[in-house]
Chain A
Amino acid sequence: MAEVTLNDVRKVYAGGVEAVKGVSLDIPDGGFCVLVGPSGCGKSTLLRMVAGLETISSGQVAIGGRVVNEIEPAERDIAMVFQNYALYPHMSVYDNIAYGLRNRGTPKDEIDRRVQEAARILAIEPFLQRKPRALSGGQRQRVAMGRAIVRKPQVFLFDEPLSNLDAKLRVQMRVEIKKLQRALGVTSIYVTHDQVEAMTLSDKLVVMSGGQVEQVGTPTEVYRRPETRFVATFIGSPPMNILPGLVDGDGRVSVGGLTLAADDLPAGLEPGRHVDVGVRPEEVEVAPAGAPGAPFAIDFVEELGATELLHGTLGGSPFVLQVNTGAVSPGTKAVTLAIPSRCVHVFDAETGKRLGRAESATARAA
């Protein structure tokens, strides 16, 4: 077991593309760190630098306190699960799993014991003699996992391991990966662009964009207090509504003539400053008839089963609201919304950075 430390890690590809622009991270021993971000933001590049599959342009990667920049992948004591599984097609499942042990000269009976154990944990014993092409996607995924756990490495690296599975299987394997990681206690870094996967798996969530880290925190912290507009819209589904607005005074913003209270807005900002106001669709409620609130005009409704999404306009901007099915009777054209002041996020219109109170930021860091 080991902690993984990244210190100002950069990657510039041969063509001059700067894929990773100085990332520093601490992943504690046994931690489950998920790197999430849109396509092309450098997640895979960062992971592959930890694996030793890409050279590190500058900065340091340390595993278990040992700087591994110049160390071969084989000597880093890591295992990696690839998006396409990278199973050796000409070898049986057994040989696929045993390959890494054989390369390290593990005795035969020890190999057999460990392969059988891994196969038992992953429930792939019936397929050990088959070739990978004779397996379903989910079974291949398990074999890839088997190949990783059989060596008992210090770190697991996953690069979008579930993205080739169908939605149902993905949910099932997600739970299994989490259980397995808990049971084995192996430090893990997991790359995905699926924010639900990111939220459910991680105990340390790293949101990346354009080669940089936007925010690091527990999934709840990131969800509750997004540090940038990008994180706010990236984490959460359906995404957070962003409305253009102005600072209206201490703790208040105005959006298209509506005034909203925002708890986290620091005092002393000049009124009239342009801001982006973020409100999550699921944190707003429909106010009882006659109660004060923000008028919301409904355009159309998307039914999701237990909940429904109301699309419409609020203060002149498009807005989405998520409510329990039946909370608004069909055919309703306008409702009044109660927007809790603790759920109003304010971002600088230009930089996209959160305009938040310093004390809550320090409280978070502590």
Chain B
Amino acid sequence: MTDITASSAASAPNRERIKASLRRRQAAETRFRAFGIGSVLIAVGFVVFLFSTILHDGLPAFWQPVVTVDVFFDPEIIEVDPKPEPLEGQSAAEFQRASLDWQRQVTMVNWNRIIQNSVAREAPDVELSAREIQALIESNERYRLRDMFVVSPGLLGSTVPLELLASANVDVWLKGDIDRSLGNDRQQLPEATRILADRFYEDGRIRMAFASTLFTNTDSRNAPAEAGLLGAFIGSLYMMLIVIVLAVPIGVASAIYLEEFAPKNKITDLIEVNINNLAAVPSIVFGLLGAAVFINYFQLPLSAPLVGGLVLTLMTLPTVIIATRAALRAVPPSLRQAALGLGASKSQAVFHHVLPVTYPGILTATIIGVAQAIGETAPLLLIGMNAFVTTLPTTPLDQSTALPVQIFLWEGNENRNYFEPKTAAAIIILLAVMLVLNAIAIILRSRFERRA
């Protein structure tokens, strides 16, 4: 009895102390929570700001003005022979030569004149010089007319309503990307063209169409309105494939060997330290290395996605190795023991039991590594991938750029008014590629986790 009273008497001050400390602890908790929420809000704020500016700047570039023109294939301007047909008794080579001759004739036609005349017919009441009209339409559209005519020479003498791409300067003017109140001498378009564009836009002859050229064309300088990302995209795709094909098997295999099989000694310690250091090497150094080794020593071509892919592989390898080793290390030893205790060999234990558990981790690391590689610009500049390339690369040895390099190039284009939104649009596309990659990572990861 006395015991109980004694202990409760002793516990009273204890309870006071606990209460006091409780208040302190709660205050600390609240403080930490507020701090956490604050940091999350700041981070989210930055992300929202970033995305909204990029979307705000870039989305309009996905639409570009097209001019509906009734194009008259004027026989007085298109003075060419009838298209040759294969004749009896004519060899294939002869026919080929005749066809080429004819096509040369067609190319010599002044297609710009056709466009100028057709546009002028749309606005008969305005006095326009050829130059003023020409400024309205993207210069490369003449090739479109030529190609149409080569395919169907029957168009001669007929009038066809066509949607011709407006020039980049018209795009800038109509979207208000240039100060409309600037004086004539500081405008990119002649005054008459500006008035014509406004008038066409009002009466619906110019409409904003989806800029599919962004996805179907390569970069272009003389026809900026047609400049697209396809070449850069394919270059990036090649590099991504090379990185996946090389970095993943090599990285995963070295990680497995180092983690599961290699003896632990000075040499493997040294290797480990070096791998960790490599992961921290600035990417531009890998570019220097690539230039020295692949281009100077192995004489691989400049600007080739193959070289870019190899450089990015070197850059991605440490990431893959480190992530895979971490994933392997996280596998409980009891799993290895279970397999070994049953008489599985070391490699059976690793490949049948340990590795499958790590797939989600390895996969995520790989995709993050690849995404990083795709977004990399600096090392590619050193191996000449910032070249101006207008052809689609058909093999990884052809000249090409990459998405982020294309962004870099467009950002530096002297036609700033036009290329600033276009650059933002390219950034949106690059981000979309990243998002897709990350989504794939998440989907595959959850699928693997469900199976395990």
Answer whether A and B are interacting partners.
Answer: no
Q: Which residues of A contact B (CB under 8 A)?
A: none
